Amino acid sequence: MTAMDVIVSLCKRRGFIFQSSEIYGGTGSCWDYGPLGVELRNNIKHVWWRDFVQQRADMVGLDASILMHPTVWKASGHVDHFTDPMVDCRECKRRFRADQIDDRPWTHYCEATKGNKFIIPAGEACKHCGARRALCPECGKGELTAPRQFNLMFKTFMGPVEEDASVTYLRPETAQGIFVNFDNVLQSMRRKLPFGIAQIGKAFRNEITPGNFIFRSREFEQMEIEFFVNPHEQLDGRAADEAWHDRWIADCQAWFSRYGLDPAHVKLHEHARDELAHYSKRTVDLLYEFPMGWSELMGIANRTDFDLKQHAKFSGKSLTWFDEERKEHVVPFVIEPSAGVDRALLAFLLDAYREEEVRGDKRVLLRFHPELAPVKIAVLPLLKKRTEIVATGQDLRTRLARRWVTIYDDTAAIGRLYRRQDEVGTPYCVTVDVKTVGDAEKGEAGDQRVTIRERDSMEQIRVPMADLENVFGRLLQEGGAWRDVAAAYPPAGELSV
Ligand code: GAP
């Protein structure tokens, strides 16, 4: 199994991600987030919003509608430029992106070996006859059509009549919702440059060759910032837009490593001139080392004043900021850090995945940053036949669930329960045992202490139940290190690892 297959299988087995409409055979490249997937996804969005919007004085948020006025897409250039060149196989009718066709292995029926079928690695020639791919890479038989431009936007109709006048599109990026609201935000929030507007929301692209699980899908979610800068100002001895661009690149890189991506798995890619989008002066991508190779995790573009000027031209409304000092109207330049929620989630999953050997057994774990972990605490009873243990465990779950996502599980023996939680990345397990509750029939009082086990080290400490909110507050909310918090409590007699 490839690293991607391992993650796809874990995601399905443990309720992170399912194929959309699976019982009907699935929908191409659409995915449903299951009970644990939705928590992980919400946590990523929550920390991104908190770190980049709520904690910064120069940022505000927005939630624009998905369906927008069709002229938005004319002004933005999407109607004319948001296209990929595609070719079709005349035989099997499969469709490919013309610019990616030689990046895939190809099927070849080799005449030098009596027509035997070979699958030849991408870009290579046949070892037997020296031929290079000329036909359909999939069926190996059909001629390909000449490339045609294919617009990636999903068309739909607004209102009850399906006619040309009512055509609109599902947004292919959230950015345009921000540009068209630039003046509304400026006026209502009394902002000065530089400031940014952030938005998290769904985007839709009719990708010709989606794939690699949730990496490239047709419905996905973006976390975008449009940061408006006065290009006439200087910052760090340079044009302000250029200096802000570098600051945002550094901030985004630091953000991904803060939440667990190994910096060795992330690198920058500077777009060459011929790679730049029509609106961009400079674009730098953060690439992550995905199993299929280094690929775009997010992009940070300098979109200049292109979008505001286009929308001003098409709408007839002025989209400027008045510089009181210089007494002039300025069309801001825009720095755009744009990340995909689904790609971030895939990278966090891949980077967190570990297989270890513990006492001769395989242990699979997801070493999620505690803030990203879907479940923070699992309460586990050592013996489910003892009603006091079960009742205490369930009470604890109710108590802790007021502040953190906490589950109760008594469906297996303790060693198995620990493994299950490791595999979904739960940072802490709390175990209730006989010593906790005592034995009323024998007149033995319980010590009212429980065992806390930490996922990565598997260390266990014994903690009074009354202290749990304090301990988890320090670990999960105040960023306390396990080593420091655990030092105040005695180690537990090991139940199991
Ligand atoms: N507003 C700029 C913009 O949309 P982009 O590079 O096309 O730029 C930004 O997209 C990010 O959105 C990408 O870096 C990626 O994380 C995510 N993204 C784009 N297309 C995607 C797709 N088909 N499936 C999943 N994520 C996608």
**Tokens 């939705």 sit on residue:** 38
> Residue 339: CB within 6 Å of ligand 1?
yes
202 with 219: CB under 8 angstroms? yes
pLDDT tens digits, residue range 180-211? 999 999 999 999 999 999 999 999 999 987 78
Determine which residue's CA is closest to atom 20 belonging to ligand 1: 216
Give the C-alpha separation, 483 to 468, whole Å.
16
pLDDT tens digits, residue range 56-82? 999 999 999 999 999 999 999 999 999
**Tokens 């060459």 sit on residue:** 272
> Residue 222: CB within 6 Å of ligand 1?
yes
pLDDT in the model for residue 494: 61
Give the C-alpha separation, 37 to 44, whole Å.
11
pLDDT tens digits, residue range 237-249? 999 999 999 999 9
Determine which residue's CA is closest to atom 7 belonging to ligand 1: 173
Question: Residue 173 pLDDT more than 80?
Answer: yes
Determine which residue's CA is closest to atom 17 belonging to ligand 1: 340
pLDDT in the model for residue 163: 85
State the amino acid at position 242 in one-letter form. E
Q: What is the pTM of this model?
A: 0.93
Q: Is 200 exposed, middle or buried (0-12, 13-18, 19+ CB in 10 A)?
A: buried
Give the C-alpha separation, 162 to 215, whole Å.
33
- Percent of the chain, pLDDT > 70? 99
- Whole-number Å distance, alpha carbon 205 to ligand 1 midpoint, is 9
- Whole-number Å distance, alpha carbon 318 to ligand 1 midpoint, is 29
Which of 47-56, 195-204, 208-217, 415-424 is predicted least confidently? Answer: 208-217
Count of C-beta atoms within a 10 Å radius of residue 214: 25
Question: Residue 495 pLDDT more than 60?
Answer: no
pLDDT tens digits, residue range 473-485? 999 999 999 999 9
Question: Residue 493 pLDDT more than 80?
Answer: no
Tokens representing 392? 């205490």
For every residue of the chain, which 3-state class applies, written as one string? Answer: CCHHHHHHHHHHHCCCEEECCHHHCCCCCCEEECHHHHHHHHHHHHHHHHHHHHCCCCEEECCCCCECCHHHHHHCCHHHHCEEEEEEECCCCCEEEHHHHHHCCEEEEEHHHCCEEEEECCCCCCCCCCCCCCCCCCCCCCCECCCEEEECCCEEECCCCCCHHHEEEECCCCHHHHHCCHHHHHHHHCCCCCEEEEEEEEEECCCCCCECCCCECCEEEEEEEEEEECCCCEECCEEHHHHHHHHHHHHHHHHHHHCCCCHHHEEEEECCHHHCCCCCCEEEEEEEEECCEEEEEEEEEEEECHHHHHHHHHHCCCCCEEECCCCEEECCEEEEEEEEHHHHHHHHHHHHEEEEEECCEEEEEECCCCCCCCCCEEEEECCCCCHHHHHHHHHHHHHHHCCCCEEECCCCCHHHHHHHHHHHCCCEEEEECHHHHEECCCCEECCCEEEEEECCCCCEEEEEHHHHHHHHHHHHHCCCCHHHHHCCCCECCCCCC
Sequence-ordered list of residues with C-beta below 8 angstroms from that of 265, at least 6 positions apart, any chain: 288, 289, 347, 351
Which residue has better confidence, 359 or 240? 240
- Whole-number Å distance, alpha carbon 278 to ligand 1 midpoint, is 16
Question: Residue 89 pLDDT more than 70?
Answer: yes
For helices 3-13 and 341-352, angle between their N-to-C axes, nearest 10 degrees: 100
pLDDT in the model for residue 112: 94
> Residue 76: CB within 6 Å of ligand 1?
no
Q: Is 486 exposed, middle or buried (0-12, 13-18, 19+ CB in 10 A)?
A: buried
- Whole-number Å distance, alpha carbon 174 to ligand 1 midpoint, is 10
The minimum-distance atom of ligand 1 relative to the CA of 344 is 16
The dihedral built from the CA positions of residue 71, 77, 80 and 83, taken in this order, carries a sign that is negative
